[in-house]
Every structure is written in structure tokens, then in C-alpha cells.
Amino acid sequence: MTPLENLRDFSPEAVELKLKELGQPAYRGRQVLEWAYQKSADSFSVMTDLPRELRRQLAERYSLALPEKKSEQLSSDGTRKFLFGLEDGEAIETVLIPEPGRLTLCVSTQVGCRFGCAFCLTGAHGFRRNLFPHEIVGQVVAVNRLLGESASARQLVFMGMGEPLDNFENTVIALQILTHRRGMAFPRRRITLSTAGIAPMIEKLGQEVPVNLAISLNAPDDRLRSQLMPVNKKYPIPGLLAACRRYPMQRRQWLTFEYVLIKGVNDSEEQARKLAKLLKPLKAKVNLIAMNRHPGSEYQPPSEEVELRFQRALKERGLNAFRRQSRGSDILAACGQLQGALTGKGKG
């Protein structure tokens, strides 16, 4: 039996068109979208303000299945990591981060990752497949269902498993749903997409859904960056920064460059000076993140003294630089630690 299409794989406009094709008035499409996104419905049977016959027709054609929570871990700092099982037996991890006055959700866009950054556990397990739009958006819907009416994630970071711009089409559809007023209605300023630096896709993202952009840089020169991030061999720093300069931004927006500090590798004052010179022409800020330890890694984080010295060197040269504290590292929920382990067809 052929699996049903998931209705969350379609943009809100496409959903409204599908209801129109069933001979329904325009407001029926709006009702279905409200159930799917504002009320987090996982079946058509709960849509009690729709005629019974329409609910039957929709259930025969489409699914509203959500990723299934397989397990949950709670960090000592309040971070929650969810392991979600997908319909084909694969698995992904999603992280909910409590912050003052808000909840931030870190979502995944792929099962695994093909880019193999040297400091990242996700890439060490290889690439399985892209996530569909309904699996990306479904993480947000599923977590909001788990939170109940008392709370909801209102800030999103595309910093989970996978490279969002390597799954460009599905990621863009998901972003369209997340930002649409009849979808999940997230302001674009509350969504940040992190990329390893696929330069042509950065420009395309700016044309499609220009959310906040974060670039995982991690080195001030091509030689070292290519060692740490193989993607740099195809998209070296000069072309990457040129694409960043062309990325459309509002007056109060800044490009974010993420820099994972690794002991004895990229944490010297000389490297800080080179980084400042490289980024000074851009409207940019730098987030410094100490390397998060994970099983099998040969790398270690630097001392706090070294972190502070690196930050000071950037600030002295006019660059906005912030030290970001990792969250959830004790449950392998921090930057570079996600892996999506699940018995069966998923990774173990």
C-alpha cells in the first residue's frame, strides 16, 4: 500500500488549493491549517468543525503523522533532548533549551550529515537521508504538543543534525510553513539557520526565506578550515564571505559567525587577529563556543583563560565577540553532539 502524503509537506497556499480542488470554500482550508499548526492536530478525526465527509476524504488522501517521541533526557541545566522516531525506522534528535523568558528549539534537517566536520559527532556517523518538510516542521509541532497549553517554543535554531542547505528544497518549504501567518507564524527574526558554508545556497536562501544566518567558520584561513571542515575545499572562505555579503539583511540584523574553539588548533591570539581582519569588513558578530567533548573525539576545549584571551583579541580589533555557554552537554545535547541513536533501521 502506497503511503499517504503528509499534509505538512505542502505550503499553506498549497493546502488551501487542495481543499479548493475538493470543492470546498476558502475558509475550510484556513480551518485545516489552524488545526494542523495552531492546534497541533495529528489526525483529521479531531477537526470537529469540519463536515464528517470532508474529514473522511482528507483521511483517505493525506496523513498528519508526527515524529514519535522514543525517549527524552533532561540535562542538569534544564535542557531537554528528545529522540524522535520516523516512519521508516530512522531517528533524529531535537533539543529544547530554556532561556530567560523564552524556549528555544534546536531542530534537525537530516538523518546524519554528509559533511564530516572533524569536531562533530553527527558527521562521524555518516549520512542517511534528508528530512521531509513534515519531519522538520513536525519536530516543532510535536514538542509543542508535549509542552501542552502552558508553553511553546517561540524561537527556532536550525542547528541540529544535518546541514540545512544540503536539504535546500525541503528546508525552504519548512521555513515557509513556519513563518506563514496561517502556518506556525514565527517571525523571521526568531529563526536562525546555521550552515557549514554552501555558498550558492546561501544566496538562494536569501532570495527565498531570508531568516537569520549563522555560518560555522571555525578557522581564519583556508588551510586550517579545510582540515576541520572538508566542505571548505569546495567552497573556500573568499567565496563564502562574498555570498555572505550579498545576503539580504534588515537594518538591525547581523551575520553570525560561529567559531568552535579547539585546544591548540584554532585558539591562538594570532588566529584571533587573523579572524578579526577577515570579518571586520562585514556586519558581523562572532559566537565563540568551546569544543564540546564527545566519545571518540581527539579534540579538547581550551581553558577559560584562553577563551577570554581570544575574545579580548577580537574585541580590541572592533569585532563583536560573545562567549556562548554550551547547554545540555551532560546528555550529549550540545553543539556537535547529536547523533540520533535508535535500534532497528536507525543508527546505533
Q: Three cell numbers at 34?
A: 489552524
| 64 backbone dihedrals φ, ψ, rounded to 5° | -125, 25
Instruction: Provide the CB-side half-sphere exposure for 125 (13 A, CA).
Output: 25
3-class SS at 329?
Answer: helix
With a CB cutoff of 8 Å and minimum separation 6, the contacts of 66 are: 42, 138, 141, 142, 145
**Which residue is catalytic, options 90, 93, 135, 163?**
93
**Which residue is catalytic, options 113, 117, 120, 335?**
335
Active site residue 113: no
Q: Three cell numbers at 236?
A: 573556500
> 248, 237, 92: which is closest to 167 by C-alpha?
92
> 130, 182, 121, 183: which is closest to 156 by C-alpha?
183
With a CB cutoff of 8 Å and minimum separation 6, the contacts of 70 are: 83, 84, 85, 91, 342
Active site residue 93: yes
3-class SS at 284?
Answer: strand
Please state the separation of Cα 102 from the chain's center in Å: 17
Say if residues 19 and 29 touch (Cβ distance below 8 Å). yes
Name the H helices within the chain: 12-21, 26-33, 52-61, 121-124, 133-147, 168-179, 199-208, 222-228, 237-245, 269-279, 304-316
* Alpha-carbon gap, residue 333 to 340, rounded angstroms: 10
The residues annotated with a catalytic role in the active site are 93, 335
